[in-house]
Amino acid sequence: MKRRTFLANSGKLSLALSFPHTISKQSFAASMSSDLTSLTAIELSTAIREKESSCVEVMQAYLERIHKYNGVYNAIVSLQAEDDLLVQAKQADDDLAHDNYRGWMHGMPHAVKDLTAVRGIPYTSGSPMYRDRIPDQDSAMVARIRAAGAIFIGKTNTPEFGLGSQSYNPVFGATGCAYNPELTSGGSSGGAGCGLGTQLLPVADGSDMMGSLRNPGAFNNVIGYRPSTNVMSGRDADPRPLSTSGPMGRNTADTIQFLRTIAAKDIGDSFSPLNLSSQKIAWLGDLDGYLALENGITQLCESSLSNLSTAGANVEAVLPDYDFDNLWFSWTTLRHLGRSSMQRFYEDPATRDMLKPEMIWEIEQSHILTEGDRARANAYRGEWLRELNRLFMDYDLLAIPTAQVFPYPKTTSWPREIEGREMDTYHRWMEIVILGSLGGLPVINVPVGFDPQGRPMGLQIMGNFGEDRKVLEFGLAYDQITDFLQQRPRMVEG
């Protein structure tokens, strides 16, 4: 069985933990790449489960690649001691030899976004004030990953406190784009996106308030998935939180498998590619000129949408019936008011100077907002939720570009203008992602290709709240009709 055939078939199979048994040991051995780091996460899991590759061999392959490239890309930080990681991999092999199979991630290396606690590994949140913080217990999500058998090799880089869609901080520096390390990887899950794009990790976790799973997915030509907000918490909340954790993967099948591991809510165990011919998709574009988009983004997205039309989907250009200035007011007001937890750092002279200017600005913005502003922001949000409900009465899915700019130099903190239009705040250039965030919607970033400079871009596909299966099965179908994910970067050694 050729590897491409294996990939195509994997989308049609159950993604239950019994997945490795769906392929014969002999056929997989014939198809497996000699480079273990090029295998998808599901392929790698199969190789380990079927004992075609040992956990020690897998760990050695990943560490060799990390040592070769991470110095340039800076995706993984707080890398743990190699000897200790190899000891853990040897123990995983011994466990497997004694039929103690831990789970589908048995012996696989994993690095957690550095906004999440992993027992015994530095937990800096990208801030110098936490440079030496080492937790003594795992977060709930990390505990689920550990229970699935993963070996934690370190962390993935993130901006200070996850603020901004450019992954740089004074502790570890900036993370580069997988396709050009001089450009940004996006953020705040930039280390995760770059780690996947450069094949330094099999899968990755992240979090998303303002596109932090989707933007680095687009900038590194990988899948980024923001679940419905109740999937990771396991409970419905009203209002829906603005932020959620979620998975990233080299393809949609890996992303689903990893989401099943980290989710608090059961999302099911059998996924099949969506029948695109039955889908009606609303293309939102630039919201009739409201959003500034860098030249070339619309063309790439519309080219991919034409592929969907060829596959049978009904794609229509649609403009929501909404005042988007009100949506921006709602977003910024609720976001700024959410910075109250950072007030203690702002008031303490010993820590205030350690905060990045954008964080200080957000905190100061929260000082001038009133309860009346909060009420108006929530009212506008309610109006947007009603408009979303109206749209989903007529359409199965909504589509809009993932980012308003292509990856830009990692020495630039944020874009000041797009095609001559000034960005009046440090996050205005990411405004395109708030439609899904304010709705608490499930949103998948899928790749749409590259501009003439080789810079990647993506497309957001949004489903109605709770329709995670539909959105993920769209991703499986999209993987089958496109080959963007197979276009690997030319790596730069450090």
For residue 21, what pLDDT is reported?
34
What strands lie across the sheet with 151-156, from one edge to the other? 76-77, 151-156, 109-113
**Does the pLDDT value for residue 60 go beyond 60?**
yes
For residue 237, what pLDDT is reported?
84
- Chain-wide mean pLDDT for the chain? 94
Q: How far is 148 from 110, CA to CA, in rounded Å?
A: 11
One-letter amino acid at 70 equals N
**Does the pLDDT value for residue 212 go beyond 80?**
yes
For residue 359, what pLDDT is reported?
96
What are 417's strand-pairing partners? 422
Out of 3.90.1300.10, 3.10.180.10, 1.25.40.340, 3.50.50.60, which CATH number does the structure's domain 3-318+395-486 have? Answer: 3.90.1300.10
Q: For 309-335, how does the pLDDT look when each residue is reduced to its tens digit (9 = 90+)?
A: 999 999 999 999 999 999 999 999 999
Q: How far is 471 from 465, CA to CA, in rounded Å?
A: 10
Tell the burial category of 368 from Cβ atoms under 10 Å away from its Cβ (0-12, 13-18, 19+).
Answer: exposed
Q: For 398-416, how does the pLDDT look when each residue is reduced to its tens digit (9 = 90+)?
A: 999 999 999 999 999 999 9
**Does the pLDDT value for residue 223 go beyond 50?**
yes
Residue 166 contacts residue 184 (beta carbons within 8 Å) = yes
Q: Given the structure tokens 């999302």, which residue do they identify?
A: 267
Largest pairwise CA distance in the chain: 67
Other CB atoms within 10 A of residue 237 CB: 10
Average pLDDT over residues 293-304: 98
- Say whether 250 sits in a helix, a strand or coil: coil
Average pLDDT over residues 37-51: 98
pTM of the model: 0.94
**Does the pLDDT value for residue 491 go beyond 50?**
yes
| Cα atoms in the Cβ-side hemisphere of radius 13 Å centred on 125 | 14
Q: For 155-166, how does the pLDDT look when each residue is reduced to its tens digit (9 = 90+)?
A: 999 999 999 999
Residue 468 contacts residue 228 (beta carbons within 8 Å) = yes
- Say whether 199 sits in a helix, a strand or coil: coil
Proportion of the chain above pLDDT 90, given as a percent = 92
Please indicate whether residue 74 or residue 16 has the higher confidence score (pLDDT): 74
* Chain CA centroid to CA 285, Å: 22
For residue 341, what pLDDT is reported?
87
Proportion of the chain above pLDDT 70, given as a percent = 93
* Helix 82-97 vs helix 55-73: crossing angle, to nearest 10: 150
For residue 34, what pLDDT is reported?
52
Q: Where in the sequence of the chain do the CATH 3.90.1300.10 domains occur?
A: 3-318+395-486
**Does the pLDDT value for residue 27 go beyond 50?**
no
Q: For 93-132, how does the pLDDT look when each residue is reduced to its tens digit (9 = 90+)?
A: 999 999 999 999 999 999 999 999 999 999 999 999 999 9
Q: Given the structure tokens 């949000």, which residue do they identify?
A: 381
Other CB atoms within 10 A of residue 306 CB: 11
pLDDT grade, residue 11 (50/70/90)? very low
Q: For 136-181, how does the pLDDT look when each residue is reduced to its tens digit (9 = 90+)?
A: 999 999 999 999 999 999 999 999 999 999 999 999 999 999 999 9
Average pLDDT over residues 5-27: 39
Other CB atoms within 10 A of residue 289 CB: 9
